[in-house]
Chains A and B, each alone.
Chain A
Amino acid sequence: MTVLQIDKIKAYYKINAYGNQRTVKAVDNVSLEIEEDETFGIAGESSCGKSTLIKVISGTIKPPLTIIEGKVIYNFGDESIYIGKVNGQEEIGKVTWEKVSYIPQSSMSVLNPVMKVRDIFYDLLKSHKKTMEKEVFNETIKEHLNSLGLPIEVLDLYPHQLSGGMRQRVIIALATIFRPKVILADEPTSALDVVVQQSVLQLLREIQNENKNTLILVSHDMSILANIANRIGIMYAGKIVEVAKVKDIFENPMHPYTKFLINSIPRIGDKSDRLSIPGFPPSLADPPNGCRFHPRCPYVMDICKEKSPLLCEVAEGHNVACFLTSEESEDGKY
């Protein structure tokens, strides 16, 4: 069942400072369908718009970020949440932690440094389940920490007393205590060491396996996604350029950018030369005309400079936006 449907979302930052007006097209016509019981990875370089996409999906849309077009619909069977533009008006449905939770990149900026971990949990529980008793709180928290393999001792500590990995795991505990249907993780391990990273990602994988919910993981590190995702969407300059099952992405990448990405990953045991991607990612305020990758693409054709290719199905479960594989272009204006 499709639990999250992203339909032609355009979300731009409109910045007006001292007369200079800039529009940053962070998410430009993105459509995705994400299923229940899957781990969906969104991969891309920094400033490709993936963090903005997460903001839009999680409903934290504040000026200067505005939705220009499109909609995001959560479908939980009995209820649904709608985020989008209706008749020129932005409508942002209430996205609660019980259904959709969020794991941010930097753990320190999320945990209140003057509250003990136990109090942070109370805070969370109080704001969602106002009628719970303190004893019931305590039991719920302890049970949850046990099920995740976290020591109960952390409850009495302050965030700065914990190591980075432990903090991140506390945040994961916070994010999963209500057993949400969708978990959004924005680069959850990029600030962590490789050994800690392994443990945090394994924890996420376990949670997803046990609860059969949806995990959407954003990362610039393809190796992480190889180990944990079922499907991957590659994002470039505000657009999704390829979506496929993880095996297909690595063994049969079709978009030139994806090919570059896969080939630039170093591996232990292989000292052969690796090529990096030529050129630099474009500015989202002033993206190139036509296909946004065309200035760096070795297979560029004339049509790529004028029209932007449409993301369409090229093989089973494998969608690509490239004129090499299909003739369709995006209709309408950017």
Chain B
Amino acid sequence: MENTEKLLTVKDITKVFTRGSLLSRISFTAVNNVSFEIEANKPEIFAIVGESGSGKTTLARIILHLIEPTSGQILYRGKDITKIKSKRDRIEFMSTVQPIFQNPFETFNPLKRVDSYLYETALNYKITNKSNLERFIADILNSVGLSIEEVKGRYLHEFSGGQIQRLSVARALIVRPSLLVADEPVSMLDVSLRMSIVNLFKELKNDQNVSIIYITHDLATAYYISDRIAIMFRGDVVELGPVEAVLARPLHPYTRVLKEAVPEPTPTQKWGGKINFSAIEIEEFSRVGCKFAGRCQSVMEICKKAEPKYSSVDNRMVKCWLYK
């Protein structure tokens, strides 16, 4: 019998934040009707790309059950995470999904020894017993390119950003998760260090069968490791599909703009064109119709009036009136 259960189902997730007091409330939609699925037993790296304000971090937090969505469902292997109440359910959920955070120096408590987190995780999830603990931790550290000698007894400030991100991955791997949600894991690292962490993710998918949701604003690394990519703009997923197709032949106008803005490391090909955009971001959030209409080169009348629907074009999903 074929296992048709998906590892992760994100269904029509919407998150609305309201600010202000009883008298004057501003609400804005950080995530608007996002849906996608990740297969079980077929590890992939799924990139979610967007600029700041696109809602990608909010989406990550919802998937990690750190924030409640306003509406929609998140299902892990068919189980709804909003129904998680007991400690046993929580542990089961967290053995499936683990996070990797953006700022390595915030991921761990600077006043505690970093290896304490590794021991905690191993013991709390009953992964191994006390006698095998040291060896288990040493093996996990080796698998991410660290050794137990360089980690034992040290504090956060004694490591570099790259090393801490590796530690973060090691800690997450202890519970043998099926899914890692990495929220901008390399954006705080130098460009030259990014490759080592990004290559590590590739290894994890190929050798350890871990699926990774890779959230970033960096198209280049997203292209380098991911299989599928979702482009987010102001809370909407505007294009979703295999990464080669989406980035080689972008359909949505925003994807095109994004791709063109990435600087090529080739001195003979410099940027052309000029970009103009609004001074105040909130404007774009509260726009009626397609949120990108204000900057879109191919804007039409209908774009300013109604929110576009998803269409399936060329093996991908696009949210744009150009493709109806």
Q: Which A positions have Cβ atoms within 8 angstroms of B? A: 45-46, 149, 151, 153-154, 157, 161-166, 193-199, 201-202, 220-224, 226-228, 246-247, 250, 260-262, 264-269, 271, 273-277, 280-281
- Is the beta-carbon distance between A226 and B192 smaller than 8 angstroms? no
Q: Which B positions have Cβ atoms within 8 angstroms of A? A: 51-52, 160-163, 190-196, 198-199, 217-221, 223-224, 247-248, 257-268, 270-271, 274-281
5 pairs across A/B with beta carbons < 8 Å?
Answer: A223-B263, A227-B270, A261-B192, A264-B191, A266-B224
B260 contact set on A, CB distance < 8 A? 198
Chain B residue nearest to A274 in the complex (CB) = B195
- Is the beta-carbon distance between B279 and A280 smaller than 8 angstroms? no
Pair count A-B, CB < 8 A: 136
A226 contact set on B, CB distance < 8 A? 263-267
A164, A194, A221, A264: residue with the most chain B Cβ atoms closer than 10 Å: A194
Bound complex: CA A189 to CA B270 (Å) = 17
A193 contact set on B, CB distance < 8 A? 51-52, 217
B247 contact set on A, CB distance < 8 A? 268-269
- Is the beta-carbon distance between A194 and B160 smaller than 8 angstroms? no
Given A262-B265, A267-B264, does the pair A202, B274 have CB atoms closer than 8 Å?
A: yes
- Is the beta-carbon distance between A277 and B280 smaller than 8 angstroms? no
**Looking at the complex, which one of B51, B248, B265, B278 makes contact with A269 (CB distance below 8 Å)?**
B248
Given A194-B217, A226-B263, A274-B199, does the pair A199, B192 have CB atoms closer than 8 Å?
A: no
B281 contact set on A, CB distance < 8 A? 163
- Is the beta-carbon distance between A195 and B265 smaller than 8 angstroms? no
- Is the beta-carbon distance between B262 and A45 smaller than 8 angstroms? no
B276 contact set on A, CB distance < 8 A? 149, 199
Given A195-B257, A198-B263, A268-B247, does the pair A227, B271 have CB atoms closer than 8 Å?
A: yes
A151 contact set on B, CB distance < 8 A? 279
- Is the beta-carbon distance between B195 and A45 smaller than 8 angstroms? no
Chain B residue nearest to A198 in the complex (CB) = B261
Bound complex: CA A269 to CA B221 (Å) = 11
Nearest chain B CB to A208's CB is how many angstroms away?
13
**Looking at the complex, which one of A161, A220, A261, A266 makes contact with B280 (CB distance below 8 Å)?**
A161
- Is the beta-carbon distance between A45 and B220 smaller than 8 angstroms? no
A274 contact set on B, CB distance < 8 A? 195, 199, 224
- Is the beta-carbon distance between B191 and A221 smaller than 8 angstroms? yes
Nearest chain B CB to A154's CB is how many angstroms away?
6
Given A194-B219, A226-B263, A271-B224, does the pair A281, B279 have CB atoms closer than 8 Å?
A: no
**Looking at the complex, which one of B198, B257, B259, B280 makes contact with A162 (CB distance below 8 Å)?**
B280
B271 contact set on A, CB distance < 8 A? 198, 201-202, 227
Given A195-B258, A267-B220, A271-B223, does the pair A246, B267 have CB atoms closer than 8 Å?
A: yes
Nearest chain A CB to B264's CB is how many angstroms away?
7
Given A45-B190, A250-B265, A268-B223, does the pair A280, B160 have CB atoms closer than 8 Å?
A: yes
- Is the beta-carbon distance between A265 and B259 smaller than 8 angstroms? no
Would you list the 8 A-B pairs with minimal beta carbon distance, nearest first?
A: A276-B195, A193-B51, A276-B196, A223-B263, A223-B265, A266-B220, A199-B275, A198-B261
B190, B196, B199: residue with the most chain A Cβ atoms closer than 10 Å: B190
Chain A residue nearest to B202 in the complex (CB) = A273
A246 contact set on B, CB distance < 8 A? 267
- Is the beta-carbon distance between B220 and A197 smaller than 8 angstroms? no
- Is the beta-carbon distance between B191 and A197 smaller than 8 angstroms? no
- Is the beta-carbon distance between B274 and A266 smaller than 8 angstroms? no
Chain B residue nearest to A164 in the complex (CB) = B52
**Looking at the complex, which one of B192, B258, B266, B278 makes contact with A45 (CB distance below 8 Å)?**
B192
- Is the beta-carbon distance between B268 and A247 smaller than 8 angstroms? yes
Given A193-B217, A198-B261, A227-B271, does the pair A276, B279 have CB atoms closer than 8 Å?
A: no
- Is the beta-carbon distance between A266 and B223 smaller than 8 angstroms? yes
Given A194-B51, A198-B275, A224-B263, 5 further pairs, Cβ under 8 A: A198-B260, A223-B264, A226-B264, A266-B223, A268-B259
Nearest chain B CB to A116's CB is how many angstroms away?
14
Chain A residue nearest to B51 in the complex (CB) = A193
Given A162-B279, A194-B258, does the pair A265, B224 have CB atoms closer than 8 Å?
A: no
- Is the beta-carbon distance between A195 and B190 smaller than 8 angstroms? no
A163 contact set on B, CB distance < 8 A? 278-281
A250 contact set on B, CB distance < 8 A? 265-267
